[in-house]
């Protein structure tokens, strides 16, 4: 039920979001954006100034005539957020201001198998990083993304096969180590999707229906519909990675057969190259090497036709999987993340053809697909979004 305060809260959030999206922006400009009059904006902004959420900056100096506007900015400097991206081999760590702009170099360390020791190490590294020149006072929160199924409410990592974590109460461990800090857990792909919709919302036309597909050791999918992350009954929505391509297909890590993941994950691609089970050999010398997906892509670029074929197969299956997702949800935009994006120039056409092969209409086949390269640190940005996005979230109706 809408109380006397509701419309104020709604407008407060709208104002905050608009300032974030259009900063630097004056009160008068904000009034035009909100289609209200300046008096209302004055009141809203004064409240935000009191709360220290917004600060006034320099005056504008455009060549238009009339009184110069005083610009408004989000007050992002007084506090910082910690973002953690846990991955199978290494864990990445970033500290940003309240808007998500990095305050220091990204750090990383080997992911420890034991959750308790992992959290200890994490805590030490965060402490080191803060001592090395972060002068912001308040910690806004800590966002941590994990590749696997988890419950953000209870903070339990239910199943993260690539980490070997099962029913680990990560939140309790983190709470013990980071006292008084707000902690946000989420599945990696879901957080990536959140970060993307969050970026887009800032950057102009709102994209409210999008899908983020993360291809790595496993396959994760985050879905945003109507601007909201789809979580499902037990935060287990988005498990498109185990969509069957063929119910009698190759076995998957989840115990089933023919999952999309069993066709397109990095291990699947590598297995397709080496031939199942047989280890890779260094060309020329015949030496046995541990083959990584980066290696495989390098070989493909160097002219190894078998490596290229393996990538093309992965591309085709990826496209078929995307086609199913597109048929099912009709998203406005599909993002792809993961190591494989580095070879996108080689495989894009194959992916697109496979999408066209199994989509039901020409419009669906034309759904835009964009890669998010590793250089943009999508997972870390997802972790940041977990911390910063709630402040801007629209208030809910009953």
Enumerate binding residues for a copy of itself (CB under 8 A).
1-4, 6-8, 10-11, 14, 34-36, 149, 158-159, 209, 221, 223, 225-226, 228, 230-240, 242-249, 254, 256, 258, 320, 324, 327-332, 358, 360-361, 363-364, 367, 394-395, 397-398
Q: Is 42 exposed, middle or buried (0-12, 13-18, 19+ CB in 10 A)?
A: middle
Tokens encoding 213? 């597909």
CA-closest candidate to residue 381, choices 99, 110, 136: 99
Judged by DSSP in three states, 1 sits in: coil
Least distance from C-beta 39 to a copy of itself, angstroms? 13
Which of residues 65 and 233 has its CB atom nearest to DNA in the complex? 65
Sign of CA dihedral 175, 178, 184, 188: negative
Q: Using CA atoms, how far apart are residues 158 and 185, in angstroms rounded to an integer?
A: 12
Residue 167 CA to its chain's centroid (Å)? 23
Which of residues 93 and 223 has its CB atom nearest to a copy of itself in the complex? 223
Binds 179, which of a copy of itself, DNA, none (CB < 5 to 8 A, cut-off by type)?
Answer: none
Least distance from C-beta 161 to a copy of itself, angstroms? 11
Distances, alpha carbon 83 to alpha carbons 14, 53, 177, 200, in Å: 26, 21, 15, 20
Least distance from C-beta 351 to a copy of itself, angstroms? 15
Least distance from C-beta 73 to DNA, angstroms? 12
Binds 324, which of DNA, a copy of itself, none (CB < 5 to 8 A, cut-off by type)?
Answer: a copy of itself
Binds 328, which of DNA, a copy of itself, none (CB < 5 to 8 A, cut-off by type)?
Answer: a copy of itself
By CB under 7 A, is residue 140 in contact with DNA?
A: no
Contacts with DNA by CB under 7 A: the residue count is 31
Least distance from C-beta 52 to DNA, angstroms? 16
Contact between residue 169 and residue 160 where contact means Cβ atoms under 8 Å apart: no
Which of residues 57 and 368 has its CB atom nearest to a copy of itself in the complex? 368
Residue among 51, 58, 59, 89 that touches DNA (CB under 7 A): 59
Which of residues 373 and 395 has its CB atom nearest to a copy of itself in the complex? 395
Q: Using CA atoms, how far apart are residues 318 and 350, in angstroms rounded to an integer?
A: 9
- Which helix (H) or strand (E) segment is 7 a member of? helix 6-22
By CB under 7 A, is residue 58 in contact with DNA?
A: no
Least distance from C-beta 365 to DNA, angstroms? 44
Least distance from C-beta 391 to DNA, angstroms? 18
CA-closest candidate to residue 381, choices 197, 215, 211: 197
By CB under 7 A, is residue 54 in contact with DNA?
A: no
Which of residues 11 and 121 has its CB atom nearest to DNA in the complex? 11
Least distance from C-beta 204 to DNA, angstroms? 20
Tokens encoding 238? 């988005």
Residues β-bridged to residue 74: 54
What b/e readout covers 188-224, taking b as 16+ CB neighbours within 10 angstroms?
A: bbbbbbbbbbbebbbeeeebbebbbbbbbbbbbbbbb
Tokens encoding 45? 């902004």
Q: What residues between 22 and 41 interact with DNA by CB under 7 A? A: 26-29, 36-40
Query: Length of the chain, please?
Result: 398
Which of residues 14 and 95 has its CB atom nearest to DNA in the complex? 14
Q: Using CA atoms, how far apart are residues 156 and 172, in angstroms rounded to an integer?
A: 8
Binding site for DNA (CB under 7 A): 1-5, 7-8, 11, 26-29, 36-40, 42-46, 59, 63-70
């Amino acid at each position: 039920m809408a109380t006397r305060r509701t419309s104020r809260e709604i407008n407060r959030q709208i104002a905050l979001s608009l300032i974030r999206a259009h900063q630097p922006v004056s009160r008068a400009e904000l009034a035009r954006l909100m289609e209200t009059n300046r008096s209302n904006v004055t009141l809203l902004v004064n409240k935000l100034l009191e709360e220290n959420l917004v600060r006034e900056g320099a005056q504008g100096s455009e060549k238009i005539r009339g009184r110069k506007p005083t610009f408004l900015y989000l007050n992002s400097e007084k506090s910082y957020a910690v973002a953690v991206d846990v991955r199978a081999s290494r864990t990445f760590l970033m500290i940003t201001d309240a808007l998500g702009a990095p305050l220091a170099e990204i750090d990383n360390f080997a992911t420890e198998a034991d959750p308790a020791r992992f959290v200890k190490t994490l805590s030490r590294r965060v402490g080191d990083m803060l001592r090395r020149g972060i002068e912001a006072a308040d910690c806004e929160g800590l966002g941590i993304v994990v590749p696997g199924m988890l419950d953000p409410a209870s903070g339990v990592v239910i199943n993260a096969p690539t980490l070997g974590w099962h029913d680990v109460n990560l939140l309790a461990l983190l709470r013990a180590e980071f006292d008084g800090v707000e902690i946000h857990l989420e599945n990696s792909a879901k957080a990536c999707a959140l970060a993307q919709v969050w970026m887009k919302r800032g950057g102009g036309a709102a994209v409210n229906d999008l899908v983020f597909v993360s291809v790595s050791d496993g396959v994760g999918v985050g879905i945003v519909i109507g601007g909201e992350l789809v979580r499902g009954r037990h935060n287990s929505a988005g498990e498109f990675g185990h969509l069957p391509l063929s119910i009698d297909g190759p076995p998957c890590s989840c115990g089933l057969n023919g999952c999309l993941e069993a066709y397109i994950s990095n291990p699947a691609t590598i297995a397709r190259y080496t031939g199942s089970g047989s280890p890779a050999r260094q060309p020329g010398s015949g030496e046995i090497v541990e083959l990584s997906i980066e290696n495989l892509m390098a070989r493909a670029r160097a002219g190894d036709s078998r490596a290229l074929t393996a990538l093309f197969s992965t591309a085709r299956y990826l496209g078929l999987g995307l086609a199913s997702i597109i048929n099912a949800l009709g998203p406005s935009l599909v993002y792809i993340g993961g190591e494989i994006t580095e070879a996108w120039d080689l495989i894009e056409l194959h992916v697109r053809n496979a999408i066209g092969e199994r989509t039901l209409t020409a419009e669906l086949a034309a759904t835009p697909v964009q890669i998010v390269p590793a250089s943009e640190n999508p997972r870390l940005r997802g972790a940041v979004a977990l911390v910063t996005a709630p402040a801007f979230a629209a208030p809910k109706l009953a």
